[in-house]
Copies of this chain bind each other. A is one copy, B any other.
Amino acid sequence: MSGSELNLSVNIGQKLPLKNPVMTASGTCGYGAEVARFYEPARLGALVLKGISLTPWPGNPCPRITETACGMINSIGLQNVGLKAFIKEKLPVAKALGSPIIANILGGSAGEYVKIARALEEAGVDGIELNVSCPNVKKGGIAFGLDLKSFTKLIKAVRKDISGPAIIVKLSPGAQPIEAFARAAQEEGADAVSLINTVPAMAIDADSRRPLIRNIVGGLSGPAIKPIALWLVYKTSKAVTIPVIGIGGIRTGRDAIEFILAGASAVQVGTASFVDPAAPVRVLEGIEGYMREKGIKDISALVGGLVTGCS
């Protein structure tokens, strides 16, 4: 069986059919063009680009990253070129890469989210991922991700105005309980939820007595958080019927399969791309290899296929 005989296609709602379930995670592939020297972006299901805000943001002072046991903490502070430059300079280049483009957006208010989303719809993106879970910006973002009321309002507002691109809501691992947020997203018409964003975390240098991240708190990502993400994806996928996109520590095809068995329809590869820039493609190839090995022709046969009873 060659890769092409396998059916890896998945649908993120009715709006966004993907040829395979592997995407980049926001903030780990730049604006897309940066990865083209390492692999053909068109091979992936979609590219999720670095988060965008209404106006350019400078980001946080350094150190912005530090390594922890099997993981890393980042506090980039959503450094980005801003909506205008994104649409003018970055988006055309990204679109030319041949992969569906999902923009990741963050606003300080529901109105800001709507404004950005509208402009992106007009500019022609395939999907919009609402980042309501970034631990690295003071206002907006995670404020929506942890409060069910403003969360619900936000999605309602965005949904009302956007009809073209698929709307994906990126959940925070701190949302309590996460099922309620996922259900609210579904009820307000989101096409999918993605999770998890990074987990708030901190590291300290005992010698200097200083935090190893200038901003004190940052977001933990990488293999260390995979077991946490897997559980939240499992719980969430039981609670909703819209597709769940699994994120967190995915590095190999087997990691992706684990998320898919737990209930994810698709996955995003983040931190692993820092270690190996072609990681998303290796994950895809790993999934194909697993399917061939097990004689599975259609990836949909695996979604939520966790076996939990007694045998």
Contact = CB atoms under 8 A, between A and B. Distances in A.
B68 A227 contact: yes
B306 A210 contact: yes
Interface stretch (A7-15, A99-107, A109-117, A215-223): A215-223
Contact of A204 (B146, B175, B201, B261): B261
Contacts of A177: 146
Nearest to A228: B201
The copy count of this chain in the complex is: 2
A258 B307 contact: no
Interface in A195-211: 199-204, 206, 208-211
Contact of A70 (B199, B209, B211, B223): B223
Nearest to A215: B308
A144 interface: no
A230 B201 contact: yes
A73 interface: yes
A71 interface: yes
B202 A262 contact: yes
Nearest to A178: B174
Interface of A: 68-71, 73, 146, 174-177, 199-204, 206, 208-211, 216-217, 220, 222-228, 230-231, 234, 249, 254, 257-258, 261-262, 290, 305-308
